[in-house]
Amino acid sequence: MAKPASSAVASGAGGRGPAHHRTHLLLLLLVAVAACASTAGFLLRGVLLDPCDARGGSSAVATARTVADAGSPLGFMRSKTVLLVSHELSLSGGPLLLMELAFLLRKVGSQVVWITNQRSEEKNDVTYSLEHKMLSHGVQVLPARGQEAINTALKADLVILNTAVAGKWLDPVLKDHVPQVLPKILWWIHEMRGHYFKLEFVKHLPLVAGAMIDSHTTAEYWKTRTHDRLKIQMPQTYVVHLGNSKELMEVAEDNVARRVLREHIRESLGVQSEDLLFAIINSVSRGKGQDLFLQAFYQSFQLIQQSKLKVPTMHAVVVGSDINAQTKFEAQLREFVMKNGIQDRVHFVNKTLAVAPYLAAIDVLVQNSQARGECFGRITIEAMSFKLPVLGTAAGGTTEIVLDGSTGLLHPAGKEGVASLAKNIVRLASHVEQRVAMGKKGYDRVKERFMEHHMADRIAVVLKEVLQKSREHSHS
């Protein structure tokens, strides 16, 4: 199997002059840094050097931001105090989305305070970097417990709890003050898994000002599950689809950057420019369906052989591996690959913040999350911005993003979806015009519905209503 792209890229390209090589590699690295355009990359970029954090340059930048954001839909949040409570601070989707909202609020002049409920006492480079990034953007970081946390919650105009697990912060910290804070809480929920439906987490849900959820499918699931299992009612619930960052779109729409990234990632994987790459980009776990994807990928070879089709050389790329701490599940994936003799066609890539280079390098994204699927699945809209067709499970938020037969193809979740996914792989492998057309329609759909400004517009509507409810409650 090809070595992880990170090490392969570092080794460079052979057969060229040193000066050309250095220039080419420098361009790649610069673009790759700019292309850390998953939410994680967007947030971590500039940790070591932020324009507001160096040599007194903050005033000019602040003035420019004020002018640039004068027309922001979140402008009404200027001077408002917002407390953000996250169950953890990590590179997972929930905390990073909350940080993105924190920065949007800071840009319009909100006072933003961050609390991490389950913060590890051990020194952690990721936590340190994320906290530094927040501080450099003017976000205050407080300990989860103590009088300062209580005082901030009481004086805040708005409190946002991020994820269901964040509800565990309320009673142990606020204690007798919980009833005063509940009417100004917006609960942002991203989870779809059943183990989050515990009364100890969400018992206060019926009394908060509102819940914000990333997809209609997830919102309906929470409404039904809380009623049937926990015997409680959901509050006013708002569905807010996510959007791509401006940084990601800049890379996706830069033909030179995409070409350079495509060339080098493919070189690192040992694949040719004309080869066809299907990629699944998620943390490696059974719920994300890498095992079923590889089964479908293997079956697709058999279908091609049976039908005597002529297709480009196909490869599968699994981005999200952990080469230093392989799980039992990942060991099973690698064993399947070896057993079926497809090790020259399957490439495992270690976890990375730089998702954009792989989106530039591949031809099709596979979103194979199982059971109830993804709550939303931001990698899906990121891939569509690169004009990639998506092969996704017909579950969760994916059904609200991918238009079956138009921007991609959907297949059932579970083992029964393997044969369908294999057929869809063959279909896109043998019809280049369909790949191109679906990719173009996916890009158009992103531009129409899933941009950062769309997300800001949707969140602004929610925050206005929640603030109004909070004011009415305080006056009653």
pLDDT digits (tens, 9 = 90+) for 144-181: 999 999 999 999 999 999 988 999 999 999 999 999 99
∠ CA 460-212-397 to the nearest 5 degrees?
A: 110
Rounded to the nearest integer, the mean pLDDT of the chain is: 86
- Give the 3-state secondary structure of residue 364: strand
H or E element at residue 423: helix 417-430
Q: Identify the burial level of 21 via C-beta atoms within 10 angstroms of its C-beta, where 0-12 means exposed, 13-18 middle and 19 or more buried.
A: middle
User: Which pLDDT does position 38 carry in this prediction?
Assistant: 39
User: Which pLDDT does position 448 carry in this prediction?
Assistant: 97
Is the per-residue pLDDT at 22 higher than 60? no
* Cross-strand bridge partners of residue 314: 276
Region 34-43 average pLDDT: 40
- pLDDT band, residue 69 (cuts 50/70/90): low
- pLDDT band, residue 307 (cuts 50/70/90): very high
Region 451-467 average pLDDT: 95
Percent of the chain at pLDDT exceeding 90: 71
Is the per-residue pLDDT at 62 higher than 50? no
- pLDDT band, residue 43 (cuts 50/70/90): very low
Residues with Cβ < 8 Å from 254, sequence gap 6 or more? Answer: none
The token duo for 366 is 């596979």
Is the whole-model pTM more than 0.75?
Answer: yes
Is the per-residue pLDDT at 310 higher than 90? yes
Distance CA 26, CA 323 (A): 26
The token duo for 9 is 């890229």
Is the per-residue pLDDT at 414 higher than 90? yes
User: Which pLDDT does position 94 carry in this prediction?
Assistant: 86
Count of Cβ atoms closer than 10 Å to residue 20 Cβ? 10
- Residue found under tokens 């990073």: 96
Q: Give backbone dihedrals phi and psi of 117, rounded to 5 degrees, phi first.
A: -70, -45
Q: State the distance between the two ends of the chain, measured CA to CA, in whole angstroms.
A: 66
Is the per-residue pLDDT at 15 higher than 90? no
- pLDDT band, residue 25 (cuts 50/70/90): very low
DSSP symbol at 15: S
∠ CA 86-89-93 to the nearest 5 degrees?
A: 80
Is the per-residue pLDDT at 435 higher than 90? yes
Is the per-residue pLDDT at 60 higher than 70? no
The token duo for 22 is 């250095």
* Cross-strand bridge partners of residue 392: 367, 410
Q: Lowest-pLDDT range, 24-28, 42-46, 75-79?
A: 42-46
DSSP symbol at 408: E
Q: Using an 8 Å Cβ cutoff, are 286 and 27 in contact?
A: no
Distance CA 79, CA 109 (A): 6
Question: In the β-sheet with 81-86, what is the strand arrangement from edge to edge?
Answer: 140-142, 111-116, 81-86, 158-162, 185-189, 210-213, 237-239
> How confident is the model over 183-212, as pLDDT tens digits?
999 999 988 776 677 888 899 999 999 999
Distance CA 377, CA 242 (A): 9
Is the per-residue pLDDT at 460 higher than 90? yes
